[in-house]
Amino acid sequence: MGKWLAVLLATASFAACSGDNGGEGGEGGAAAGTGAGTPTGSGVGAGTPTGSGVGAGTPTSTGVGAGTPTSTGVGAGTPTSSTGASPTGGGNCTGGVDITAPGGNPFDGAELFVDPGYVAKVQSSIDKTTDAALVEKMKKVQSISTAFWLDRIEAVGQLSAHLDAALELQNQLCKPVTAVIVVYDLPNRDCFAEASNGELRVENGGVERYRNEFIAPIKAILAAHPNQRIVTIIEPDSLPNLATNLGKKDCTPETEKAYREEVAHAISELNMPHVYQYIDAAHSGWLGWPDNQTKGAQIFADVIKAAGNPAGVRGFATNVANYTQLSYSTESYDQQSNPCYGEFDYVDAMATALAGVGLGDKHFIIDTSRNGRGNIRADWGYWCNNVGAGMGERPKANPGGATRLDAFYWVKPPGDSDGTADKNAERYDLFCGYENADQRAPEAGFWFHEYFVECVKNANPPL
């Protein structure tokens, strides 16, 4: 363990839209969104970091930089500190680590924990690469924090060790270390997609299993780690589907009931002082149209109210596993009357819509893992392994650019496939066969070496 920590420490050195929404725009919101809705169908499945089968790597961390606190915010909770002793031994902070988040922002003033499993995946690509300059860029990716995906019940068994490692790093650095996890296993998951369908079905006891076998153990593990900051991204591609896709594919009344009640259950059960929750809120190409924003905001408000208005809901995550740029003036696809030209515009617009339903205090994070390049797809709704994509802005606290923006963060691990291109596969999705989708892709969540290489080469800013 001492050797492991020595490597670990050596690598932890850097610390409103407006416009009308016509018929075309409204439909575009559903189609682009639905398809885009599968945006995590795209990466969420990517949560399956275990799909690559590679072993553990060296955990590291990235600094997010200070930045000016924007508000006291919810989710700040009771200031706590680590004890200086990690559950796996080690630790040298005799006075403990104060994990209070400045302004309630869990990314501010913290090191962001790097998933050892992702480091190992990147290493598997390094081992296949002979271009020395490209290898150096890949090595830089190994120091960038990505989210740890809980996309099936089995994955929960890895969570405690993941958080233990983050806490041990915190006690070595004597400063807060923030770990980010994605909670993603709703019954009838991602109801408008095929590539990222989950293991639980409502008609087969999925609700009970979700509560008892998924959320309950996650709650117990988070409660057992009270002395560290933990961020949870809640159920990508769930509630936004209720705003645009009801009555289509698997988005049935039974699915709607499960989504509303189980997201409420999750955010209620995971409401703890040291846990900062961000509910998935789609992206500009899905809920960017004003009527979609209004529908989405009301659904979010209803679910949060049903959960008892938990203080731990810090805000919302946008662009999860998608490709929408932060801002732009031109794109290769038709805007379809959407007044939001990127995630900055969308966050500003959604903040206004949320204020209209009593959620004006909520904050945002934007997934920038693969949105470095624009003009790579023919339609806004194309979400599956888009050819030409590049890594975007690195994780950073308080980056500015939009309303109450807590951070840029890499929620989707670049290199994890969005979905298979094999038309004969059970989980094949039509979007993974479209002209802009890389046709070499494996199943969602499995490591896609060739795609990772392209994302590294196309990174903007460059690595």
| C-beta separation of 324 from 342 below 8 A | yes
Strand partners, 313: 277
Q: Which residue has the tokens 């896709």?
A: 245
Cα Rg for the chain, rounded, in angstroms?
20
418 catalytically annotated: yes
In whole angstroms, what is the distance from residue 285 CA to residue 296 CA? 13
| C-beta separation of 413 from 118 below 8 A | yes
160: which 2 tokens?
């405690």
190 catalytically annotated: yes
E strand or H helix at 181: strand 177-183
Q: How far is CA 381 from CA 118, 215, 287, in A?
A: 27, 31, 12
Q: How far is CA 40 from CA 94, 147, 238, in A?
A: 42, 13, 10
Q: How far is CA 406 from CA 314, 318, 367, 376, in A?
A: 10, 12, 11, 27
In whole angstroms, what is the distance from residue 63 CA to residue 79 CA? 21
| C-beta separation of 174 from 92 below 8 A | yes
Strand partners, 182: 149, 233
Q: Which of 190, 280, 379, 416 is catalytic?
A: 190
What SS3 class is residue 272? coil
Find the DSSP H helices in 341-437: 343-355
Our CA dihedral for 410, 414, 418, 424, rounded to 10 degrees, sits at -160
| C-beta separation of 297 from 350 below 8 A | yes
The terminus-to-terminus CA distance of the chain in angstroms comes to 30
E strand or H helix at 150: strand 148-150
Label the pairing between strands 396-397 and 111-113.
Answer: unpaired
Q: Which residue has the tokens 């913290």?
A: 110
Q: Which of 237, 280, 379, 429 is catalytic?
A: 237
| C-beta separation of 352 from 306 below 8 A | no
| C-beta separation of 215 from 62 below 8 A | no
Q: Which of 115, 345, 418, 438 is catalytic?
A: 418
Whether the ω angle into residue 59 lies within 30 degrees of 0, i.e. cis, is no
436: which 2 tokens?
């802009």
406 catalytically annotated: no
Could you give the residue numbers annotated as active site? 190, 237, 418
